[in-house]
């Protein structure tokens, strides 16, 4: 029976030294005030060009990021592959504003696609839309701001950028995921991604859309997306996540006086998430799933539904995924049981990866029980190893 409590399997890739280092980091992240103040000071230290890069790289960066470049991630990719855990390389660059930065992000994303084409241990590529276009243009394209001719011209460029990446993925036969962003820019991303799926997913899912189920409208959106895909004859690739911008979403809604797009409770989010899983499995293989979650119950639920429908554990259209540096008990135990598993591994210059690292630290502080679970599992494994010595 599938279980996520086997710490020997969960931490098989970690030495005693690595385990102690991970324990220390999660203990620090269990202190909300320390995380809040520390994140603020680190961001300002980088702005002031203080010599903190080494400290960051040897602590939170090494825990949650693969390296500063694609080549720098080689050792992480190889180490994970030893245990049948795949890697999804993600250039951790966002909120770009300049044309030159957009072009660099496109070329780097295409480089990850080429790397994936030559390595069976990298099953997907991924990109963040805000690495290719400014927030302002996406907000205008989504209908929340005026879309004058000059902005329309800019948005046309965005469509070309999406198309370049998705065509490269299609040519290389490497599925590519389009990450989700904040709700007030997501409509434009939804439209672009739907267009790309209609164009490139005729034979199978190459372009994957990301659905954030902590939004109360996303389950209905998912079902509508399926209806459109079925009618127009293309496959849906869906990455299911709970979401990453909850506090920001609620604060903005309150500040501007509109209803929050976030579910009323965690229970509502969990219910919608599992309903989304069930819907996707019911409509397999028209829908291919990439389950991005640290929730054990949701992972067990997908595994159970796959078994009921007779879908093989290693069916490529079914993937489980967790963030690098977190929930190894889920990733490694699933891989040991024969399921397709990937770690989402961000990379990039330390300074540019800082916003991602801050979110990971804040997530481990705010998500109920996350840090406690990690610490308990590590402690259990430390005690198990001591008992053998």
Q: What is the CATH number of the domain that holds 85?
A: 3.20.20.220
Residue 39: pLDDT band with limits 50, 70, 90: confident
Residue 284 three-state SS? coil
Q: How far apart are CA 222 and CA 197, in angstroms?
A: 14
Structural domain that includes position 224: 64-351
Q: Does residue 108 fall inside a structural domain? A: yes
Q: Does residue 121 fall inside a structural domain? A: yes
Q: Is residue 83 predicted with pLDDT exceeding 90? A: yes
Nearest to 4 by CA among 331, 353, 365, 381: 331
Q: Does residue 281 fall inside a structural domain? A: yes
Q: Does residue 166 fall inside a structural domain? A: yes
pLDDT per residue as tens digits for the range 327-376:
999 999 999 999 999 999 999 988 888 778 777 777 666 555 667 888 89
Q: How distant is the alpha carbon of residue 247 from its chain centre?
A: 18
Q: Which residue has the higher pLDDT, 335 or 30?
A: 335
- Per-residue confidence (pLDDT) for residue 369, from 0 to 100: 61
Q: What is the mean pLDDT of residues 261-289?
A: 97
Q: Let me know: does 351 contact 46? Beta carbons within 8 Å.
A: yes
Q: Does residue 372 fall inside a structural domain? A: no
Q: Does residue 335 fall inside a structural domain? A: yes
Q: Does residue 218 fall inside a structural domain? A: yes
- Per-residue confidence (pLDDT) for residue 60, from 0 to 100: 84
Q: Which residue has the higher pLDDT, 359 or 288?
A: 288
Cα dihedral 230, 232, 238, 242 sign: negative
Mean pLDDT for the chain?
91
User: Which residue is listed with tokens 């720098």?
Assistant: 72
Q: What is the mean pLDDT of residues 124-136?
A: 93
Q: What is the mean pLDDT of residues 181-188?
A: 94
Q: What is the mean pLDDT of residues 5-13?
A: 95
- Per-residue confidence (pLDDT) for residue 153, from 0 to 100: 86
Q: Let me know: does 99 contact 158? Beta carbons within 8 Å.
A: no
How many domains would you assign to the chain? 1
Cα dihedral 194, 196, 199, 201 sign: negative
Q: Is residue 28 predicted with pLDDT exceeding 70? A: yes
Q: Does residue 106 fall inside a structural domain? A: yes
């Amino acid at each position: 029976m599938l279980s996520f409590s086997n710490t020997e399997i969960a931490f098989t890739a970690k030495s005693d030294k690595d385990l102690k280092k991970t324990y220390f980091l999660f203990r620090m992240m269990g202190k909300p005030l320390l995380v809040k103040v520390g994140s603020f000071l680190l961001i300002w230290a980088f702005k002031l060009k203080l010599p903190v890069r080494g400290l960051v790289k040897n602590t939170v960066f090494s825990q949650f990021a693969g390296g500063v470049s694609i080549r720098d991630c080689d050792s992480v990719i190889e180490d994970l592959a030893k245990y049948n855990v795949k890697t999804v390389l993600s250039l951790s660059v966002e909120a770009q504003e300049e044309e030159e930065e957009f072009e660099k992000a496109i070329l780097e994303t295409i480089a990850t696609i080429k790397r994936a084409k030559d390595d069976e241990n990298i099953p997907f590529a991924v990109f963040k839309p805000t690495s290719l276009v400014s927030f302002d243009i996406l907000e205008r394209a989504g209908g929340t701001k005026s879309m004058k001719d000059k902005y329309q011209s800019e948005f046309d460029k965005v469509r070309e950028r999406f198309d370049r990446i998705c065509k490269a993925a299609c040519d290389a036969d490497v599925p590519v995921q389009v990450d989700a962003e904040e709700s007030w820019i997501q409509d434009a991303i939804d439209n672009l991604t739907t267009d790309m799926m209609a164009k490139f997913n005729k034979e199978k899912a190459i372009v994957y859309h990301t659905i954030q189920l902590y939004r109360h409208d996303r389950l209905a959106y998912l079902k509508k997306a399926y209806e459109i895909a079925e009618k127009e004859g293309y496959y849906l690739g869906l990455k299911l996540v709970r979401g990453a911008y909850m506090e920001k979403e609620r604060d903005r809604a309150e500040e501007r006086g509109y209803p929050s797009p976030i579910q009323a409770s965690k229970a509502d989010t969990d219910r919608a998430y599992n309903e989304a899983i069930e819907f996707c499995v019911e409509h397999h293989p028209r829908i291919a799933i990439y389950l991005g979650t640290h929730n054990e119950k949701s992972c067990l639920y997908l595994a159970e539904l796959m078994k009921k429908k007779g879908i093989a554990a290693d069916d490529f259209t079914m993937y489980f995924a967790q963030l690098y540096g977190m929930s190894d008990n889920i990733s490694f135990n699933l891989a040991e049981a024969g399921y397709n598993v990937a770690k989402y591994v961000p990379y990039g210059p330390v300074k540019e990866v800082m916003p991602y690292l801050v979110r990971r630290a804040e997530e481990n502080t705010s998500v109920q029980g996350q840090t406690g679970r990690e610490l308990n599992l590590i402690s259990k494994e430390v005690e198990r190893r001591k008992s053998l010595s």
